[in-house]
């Protein structure tokens, strides 16, 4: 039960992190993982094994779309960008997480921890 909840939380936070970062610019997998790591001070870390199944699943759901194009070094990379459907998911997801953290805060004062 706890494992399932933890897995759902991890998955949900991963989706939000990816949607948020792609809402600013299109990026390829390695850059997505690096930027999320850098911008969260390493608190959120995507390995290859955790990133791509999630990205492909989000692509299947029509939230992001990938397209091969050359990066700044001239190498082909699969760039992901948000679809209009993905952009629509962002606000409700943020709201869900805000509610979630508010609830935890009320319960355990986590924001002051």
Partner 1 sequence: MPDWKTIVRERMSSPNSPLNLKEDVIAELAAHLEEICEEARLCNLDEPAAINLALQEVDDWRVLAASIRRAKSEEDSVNDRTKSLWLPAMANLIVAPGLLMIIQKLAVQPRVLWIGDMALVLYLPWLVTLPLFGGLGAFLAKRAHARFVHRLIVGLSPALAVLGAFALVLPVSLVIDRQAFRHFPFAYFVLTICNWVVLPAFALLLGTLPFLGELAALDTQRGTT
Residues that bind partner 1 (CB under 8 A): 28-30, 33, 47-49, 51-54, 56-57, 60-61, 68, 75-78
Give, as one character, the DSSP assignment of residue 96.
Answer: H
Cβ–Cβ under 8 Å, residues 77 and 28: yes
**Distance separating alpha carbons of residues 22 and 31, to the nearest angstrom:** 11
CB of 98 vs partner 1, minimal distance in Å: 24
CB of 90 vs partner 1, minimal distance in Å: 20
Residue nearer to partner 1 on the CB measure, 30 or 101: 30
Nearest Cα to Cα of residue 81 among 28, 26, 35: 26
CB of 21 vs partner 1, minimal distance in Å: 16
CB of 28 vs partner 1, minimal distance in Å: 8
Residue nearer to partner 1 on the CB measure, 18 or 54: 54
**Distance separating alpha carbons of residues 57 and 15, to the nearest angstrom:** 10
Residue nearer to partner 1 on the CB measure, 13 or 59: 59
Radius of gyration of the chain (CA): 15
Q: Which helix (H) or strand (E) holds 18?
A: helix 2-22
Residue nearer to partner 1 on the CB measure, 2 or 109: 2
């Amino acid at each position: 039960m706890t494992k399932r909840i933890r897995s759902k939380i991890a998955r949900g936070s991963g989706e939000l992190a990816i949607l948020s970062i792609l809402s600013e610019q299109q990026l390829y997998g390695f850059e997505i993982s690096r930027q999320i790591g850098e911008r969260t001070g390493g608190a959120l870390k995507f390995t290859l094994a955790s990133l791509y199944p999630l990205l492909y699943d989000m692509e299947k759901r029509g939230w992001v779309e990938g397209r091969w194009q050359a990066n700044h070094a001239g190498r082909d990379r699969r760039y992901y960008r948000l679809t209009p459907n993905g952009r629509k998911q962002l606000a409700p997801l943020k709201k869900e997480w805000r509610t979630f953290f508010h609830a935890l805060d009320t319960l355990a004062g986590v924001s002051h921890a």
